[in-house]
Amino acid sequence: MQTGAITGYIDVAQVALYVFWFFFFALVFWLRREDKREGYPLVTERPGYVTEGFPPMPAPKTYVLQHGGTVTLPRVEDPQPAFQGTPMAAWPGAALMPAGNPMLSGVGPSASAIRSDTPDRMWITGEQRIMPLRVATDHFLDPEGPEPRGMKVAGADGVVAGVIIDVWIDRTEMLLRYLEVSLTAGPHVLIPAPMVRTSGTGEDGLVTVQSILGAQFVDAPKLATPDVVTLLEEEKIQAYFSSGQLYAEPNRAGPLL
């Protein structure tokens, strides 16, 4: 027999190859099963019918969270968010058409992820990450940059909806995330900072949001707590304002030509 051969038909290299194949298959199997700790079993369009697929879901495991508490996965998932839409066709998987106010329908660009209804936290300290400057008193805006507080807010149609009363910053990224608006109609809403354009200064300045109309600010999602925005609320706010690019006016959803 040749050097390294175990028998006349099997040698060390062949055994190593078989061991590698087994290890690789076991690794893929383990990874594929572990990624089913969230989001599974899959919910289908058939009422009460769910599917796991292959491989089956793993046994529950409890994790200790960084900032306190524990979570056990897999777990019973939160119910799917309610949406207002109707299928365009009778077959499963058909696209949905929004019903009612399309910007609040949860269909298409107005859909949002089911995130935790708790605020985002800073990685090391666990403190609230996004907060208004009236709370984050150790932060300030660049004095050489625009000062949006006091400016009027208008939609794409030029209708003024309210006045900027504060800005919300990301204390980790050192970015301006939201503008807080006191609407003429009464409530306060947050506008994602990337959605706005500013012109002028002070009380003569104007903040324009091209994605929605002036009358549509009042329907924007509100905060449950004045100085706290949760991950779930952020999802809904961003979905509302971004969906206006398609849904704010009927002609936006039509073809260009």
Convert the chain into a string of H (helix), E (strand) and C (coil). Answer: CCCCECCCCCEHHHHHHHHHHHHHHHHHHHHHHHCCCCCCCEECCCCCCEECCCCCCCCCEEEECCCCCEEEECCCCCCCCCCCEEECCCCCCCCEEECCCHHHCCCHHHCCCCCCCCECECCCCCCECEEECCCCCCCCCCCCCCCCCCCEEEECCCCEEEEEEEEEEECCCCEEEEEEEEECCCCEEEEEHHHEEEECCHHHCEEEECCCCHHHHHHCCCCCECCECEHHHHHHHHHHHHHHHHHCCHHHHCCCC
Residue 193 inside a domain? The answer is: yes
Write the pLDDT tens digit of every residue in 138-157: 898 888 888 899 999 999 99
- 28-76 residue pLDDT tens: 999 999 999 888 888 776 666 778 888 888 999 999 987 778 888 888 7
- pLDDT of residue 79 exceeding 70: no
Q: Is residue 206 part of a domain?
A: yes
State the pTM of this model: 0.80
Residue 52 counted as domain residue:
no
Q: Does residue 97 sit within a domain?
A: no
Q: Is the pLDDT of residue 6 over 90?
A: no
Count of domains in the chain?
Answer: 1
Can you give the CATH number for the domain in which 172 is found?
Answer: 3.90.50.10
Does the residue 223 lie in any domain? yes
The boundaries of the domain holding residue 237 are: 116-253
